Structure 1
Amino acid sequence: MGYPVIFVFESIYYPILAAVGITVNLVAIVILCRGNCGLSKYITRYLVAMATADLRVVIVEVILKRINNIYLPISVLFITPVCAMILVIKIAALDCSVWFTVAFTFDRFVAISCQKLKPRYCTEKTASVIIATVCTLACLRSIPLYFMYEPGFLINNIPYLCVETAVYYISPLWAAYKVFDTVVTPLLPIFLILSFNALTVKHILKSNKIRRTLVSNSDNHNDPESENRKKSMVLLFTLSANFILLWTPYFVHSLKWRMRNYNYRDKYYSSPIYINQQTGFMLQLLSSCTNTCIYGLTQRKFRQELKNGVKYLVTLNGKLCQ
C-alpha cells in the first residue's frame, strides 16, 4: 500500500517551504539591517524582529520537526526532552511572529491616526521595549508546554517521542490553558489586527475627504499625500487578508477537533479531519514566508536593494560590469 496523498504532498511542500523561508527571511534581514530602504530605525527594528521570528519558525518547526519526521526517522531530535524543547521553542517563535505583526500594525495605527501620541510612541526605544517584552512573554507562555509531554516508548532506557500525557485531556488546568492558547494565538491577534486596521482606514478615508475638498479649491490638483494614504490602505488590507486567510483553517480546526497524532491507522491519515489539520499547519507555516515579503516588497527602495544585491552576486561582485 502506498503512502497517503497528504504524506506525499508534505514531503514535497516542506523542503520547498524551508528553502524559500530561509532565503526570503535572511535576505530581508540583511537588506533591512543595511538601512538603505528609507525606513526609520524603529520601523526597521520591527521588520527585522518579524523576519528573525519567522526564520526561527522555519528552522525549528519546518526543518527540525517536519522535514526531520519525513526524511530522518531515527534521530536525536526524537529523544523526548529534545522533542519537547523543540515544541516549546516553536510555540514561542510562532507567538513572537504573530505578536510582532500585531505590534507593527498598532504602530502604523498610531503613526497615521494618533498624531499627539506619535512623537512619544513611534520611537526606537519604544520598539525595542515592545520587542523585548513580546519575546519574554512568549517564552514564559510556552514553558508549561514542556511538561505536557511524556515518552512514547523507551529504547535502552532512553525516552523517545513526545506524546500528550493523559492528564492533558482531563485536567481543568490544561483545559483552561488550551482556551488561553487559542485566545492568545490567533483569536486575539486577528481581532486586534482587524480593529487597528479598521480604525486606521477610517482615519485615512476621513482625512482624504478633507484633503480632496482643500485640493479641489486650489489650482494644484496633485495630492501626493492622498496617494501615500491609498498605498497604506492597500498594504493594511493585504496584511490583514494574508494573516487571516493563512491562520483561519488552523484556528477553525483547533476549535472543533482535538486529534491525537500517535494514532497510526491508515483510515486516520486518509480522513478529512486529518487532512484539514495538516493543511491548516501548512498554511500557518506559510505565513512565515509571506509576512516579510508583504512588508518589504511593497517598499520601492527595498526592491531596489534586492535588485542591487542580485546584480552584485550574478556579476561576481560587480567585476563583470566594469
Structure 2
Amino acid sequence: MHGIPKGLVFAIYYPFIATIGVPANLSVILIQSRRRCGLSRCTTDYLISMAVADFLVILVAGILNRIAGIYFRKSFLSITPVCSLRSTLIYTSIDISVWLTVAFTFDRFVAICCQKLKLKHCTKKRATLIIGVISTVCCLTKSVVYFIYEPLYIIENVPWFCRVKSIFYTSWAWVTYDWFYRILTPCLPFILILFLNVLTVRHILLASRARRRLRVQNDENNQSDTEIDSRRKSIVLLFAISGSFILFYSLYFVTFLLVRISRLTYFSGSNYTNSNFILEETGFMLQLLSSCINPFIYAGTQSKFRAELKNGLKFPLSIIVKLYKR
C-alpha cells in the first residue's frame, strides 16, 4: 500500500464492503428463512438475527456514515443532530451483532454440552426471547451516545459534523460509562466466547474418545459415526464465527486502551496522515469486514446452504433464458 493515498484506500474499501456485505447478508436472511438448511429452529433464528444485525451495521456504519462522509461530505447527514443519531445507531447495531454472537455461542455450548438444559434452552421461543432482550437492552444503553457529541463547525447557525465533547475525557460519569461500555463490548464477549469454546472443545474431545472406545468394543470401525460428524460440523461453524469475531474486533479494543491509558483522544475528521486516525479507522474497517464475513463462513461450512445459494442464483438465470427463448 506504499505510495497509494490512504484516502483512496478508504474510498475504495467501504464501497467494496457494502457491495459484498449487503447482498451476502440479505442472501443469508432469505435462505435461512426458508429453513431448508437442516439446522434447528433456534439456530436458524440466531443466524437470521445475526445477519439482520450485520446488515444494519453495513447499512448505517458503512453506507450512511463512511461512504456518505467520503462522497457526500456536506449533505444533511453531516448536520450535527443527524450525525449524532448516526453514531448512536452505529454503536447500537454493532452491540446487537456482538451480543447475538455471544448468545449463539452459548446456545451451541448448551446444545453440545448440556443435554438436560438443552430441552429448555434450545427452543425457538427461548431464542426469540433472548434476541428481543438483547436488541432492547442494546438500544437503551446506547441511546446515551447521542449526547456525547458537539458540533465541529457552526455555519449560519447550522451545526455541522460531530466531535466528542472534551468533558467526555474528564467527567467521572462519562469515563465510567466509557470503561463500562468497552468492557461490556467487546472485552466481556471476548472472555465469554473463549471460555465457552474451551468448554465445548473439552466436552467434544472427551465424548469423541468415549464413542471411539465403544465403537472398538462393538467392532464398528468400518462404519461412519454420524454423531461425531454432526458435532464436527457444529464446532467448525461455531469456531469460524467466534474466531472471526475475536480476530476482527481485537484492534478496536486496542484503540480504546490507547485512548484511556495513554490519554489520547478519539479522532474527529479525516486526517489521513494522523496515526491516531489511521489506527481508529483500521479498527473500524475490520469491524465492517466482520459484519460481512459470516455469509461466507456459512457457505464454506454448510453444504445445504451452498445448495440453496446455488438454486437462488440459478433462478434468475433460468428466467432470463426462458425470456430469451420466447
Normalised-by-shorter TM-score class: over 0.9
Give the corresponding residue for 2:180: 180
- Aligned counterparts, 1:116-265, within 5 A: 116-221=116-221, 222=223, 223-257=225-259, 258-262=264-268
Give the superposition deviation at 1:260: 4.0
Name the stretch that deviates more: 149-158 or 96-105. Answer: 149-158
- 1:298 maps to 301
Structure 1 residues 321 and 129, CA, compared in 2 at 3 Å: closer, same or farther?
farther
Is the Cα–Cα contact under 8 Å of residues 236 and 301 in structure 2 kept in the other structure?
A: no
Alpha-carbon shift at residue 273 of structure 1 (Å)? 3.5
Matches of 1:11 and 1:217 in 2, distance apart? 62
Which 5+ residue runs of structure 2 have no aligned equivalent?
none
Aligned residues of 1:149 and 1:164 also touching (Cα < 8 A): yes
Whichever residue aligns with residue 259 of structure 1, its letter is T
Give me the whole-angstrom Cα distance separating, in 2, the residues matched to 1:45 and 1:317.
33
Report the Cα offset of residue 261 of structure 1: 2.6
Contact 1:246 1:283 in 2 (8 A): yes
The 1:237/1:158 distance shift into structure 2, 3 A limit, reads same
Task: State the one-letter code of the partner of 1:269.
Answer: Y
Deviation at 1:320, TM superposition (A): 7.6
Is this contact kept in 2: 1:47–1:292, CA < 8 A? no
Q: Deviations over 1:191-237 (max 9, x none)?
A: 11111111111110000010000001112222221222222332333
What are the superposed Cα offsets for residues 28-78 of structure 1, whole Å, 9 maximum, x if unpaired? 101111121122222111111000000000010000010011101210001
Aligned to 1:280: 283
Identity %: 46
Q: Distance in 1 between matches of 2:282 and 2:269?
A: 18
Q: 1:315–1:321: 8 Å Cα contact kept in structure 2? A: no
Give distance in 1, aligned partners of 2:38 and 2:58.
Answer: 28
Aligned residues: 317
Q: Does the Cα contact within 8 Å between 2:267 and 2:280 map onto a contact in 1? A: no
Q: Residues 273 and 166 (structure 1 numbering): CA distance in 2 closer, same or farther, change over 3 Å?
A: closer
Distance 2:258 2:299 in 1: 35
Distance (whole Å) between structure 2 residues aligned to residue 144 and residue 60 of structure 1: 18
Q: Which runs of 5+ in 1 are unaligned?
A: none
Q: How far off its partner does 1:313 sit?
A: 1.5
User: CA separation in 2, counterparts of 1:131 and 1:296?
Assistant: 23
CA RMSD of aligned residues (A): 2.0
Instruction: Show the counterpart of 1:316.
Output: 319
Q: Structure 2: how far apart are the matches of 1:318 and 1:49?
A: 35
1:8-157 equivalence runs, <5 A: 8-157=8-157
Worse overlay, 271-280 or 100-109: 271-280
* AA aligned opposite 1:103: A
Q: Distance in 2 between matches of 1:272 and 1:287?
A: 23
In 2: Cα distance, 1:152 partner to 1:31 partner: 44
Shift of 1:272: 3.6
User: Which segment drifts farther, 91-100 or 227-236?
Assistant: 227-236
Q: Could you list the per-position Cα deviations for residues 225-272 of structure 1 after superposition, in whole angstroms to 9, with x for gaps in the alignment?
A: 1222222332333223211111111111211134343367xxx63244
Deviations 1:71-100 (A, max 9, x none): 012100011111111111111100010100
1:317–1:134 CA distance, 2 compared to 1 (3 A): farther
- Kept in 1: contact 2:298–2:305 (CA 8 A): no
The SS at the match of 1:315 is helix
Q: Does 1:270 align with 2:273?
A: yes
Q: Secondary structure at the match of 1:35?
A: coil
How far has the Cα of 1:276 moved from its partner? Answer: 2.2
Q: For residue 255 of structure 1, what is the amino acid of its counterpart?
A: L
1:200 and 1:253 map into 2 onto residues whose CA distance is 30
Q: Is the 8 A contact 1:102 1:193 kept in 2?
A: yes
Bigger mean CA offset, 164-173 vs 119-128: 164-173
Q: Tell me the secondary structure at the aligned position of residue 319 of structure 2.
A: coil
